Homo-oligomer: A and B are copies of this chain.
Amino acid sequence: MTEAELAQALGQISAEMGFRFFALTHHLDVRCAPQPVIRLDNYPRDWVSYFDDNKLGASDPVHRASHVTSVGFAWSALPKLIQMTQRDSEIFERAERNGIGDGFTVPANVPGEANGSCSFATARGCPVPEENLALAQLVGAFAFEAARRLWRMRDPERATPPRLTDRQRDCLIWATRGKTDWEIARILGVSHETVIMHLKDARVRYGVTKRTPLAVHALFDGTISFVDILKS
């Protein structure tokens, strides 16, 4: 299957489910690629241009919401998932002027890869087909996975985020808990300098110069999780 065929199939099933548009996309990964890697949609051209020009890839409310849940959600439920800002409302108004109505978005997150989602949207004024949302959840999930496999086949290199060694990760986890290098050394039973070096190497791998962004990026790409940090 090619990307064009997948897009074609998605457009067709979207229509059969009662939607007008679909958008299957990676959300912006700021670390490397300036553009989303996976991207298939049949949105109006004007809307896509506006979206890109304003770099909404990561700040779009629908995308933000898809980062805090593991299953699909109707756009009408957005306020329950995220804090809506003035700008978010403007984005929706803009979308409506481009003919986009209500929608349903299925998040698709794989640890260590850019987060993504598959959205289905109705034409302006048309309600979301409630009876088909379960189907949309299924279609969205499998469509994203299909696109992801195409993407991996095309570009196996970029699929790998910075990887930390076990020791680097151990040090980082204790660092995120607020331990100093010296304390981490005692905890892990190695020397102070070794801990300094592990964290130094970890920073280099992520291309950052400070502990805090290191922690943030490692959390973002799944190298460490909140549970690693907060447990016990």
Please list the residues of chain A having a beta carbon within 8 angstroms of any beta carbon in chain B.
26, 28, 30, 32-37, 55, 58-59, 63-64, 67-71, 83, 107-116, 134, 137-138, 141-142, 144-145, 148, 175-178, 208-213, 215-216, 219-220, 222, 225-232
Contacts and interface: CB of A to CB of B under 8 A. Distances in A.
B176 A28 contact: no
Contacts of A230: 28, 30, 36, 58, 220
A36 B228 CA distance: 10
A209 B178 CA distance: 7
A169 to B, nearest CB: 12
Closest 9 CB pairs of A and B: A114-B227, A32-B232, A178-B213, A71-B145, A30-B230, A178-B210, A70-B108, A109-B109, A114-B225
B215 A67 contact: no
A78 B112 CA distance: 19
Contacts of A219: 111-112, 216, 219, 226
Given A141-B137, A232-B55, A69 B110 contact: yes
A167 B144 CA distance: 31
A220 B112 contact: yes
Nearest to A227: B114
A134 B145 contact: no
A227 B69 contact: no
A148 B107 CA distance: 15
Given A35-B231, A137-B142, 12 more contacts: A26-B227, A28-B230, A33-B232, A34-B227, A36-B230, A67-B226, A112-B225, A114-B225, A115-B225, A134-B138, A212-B212, A220-B230
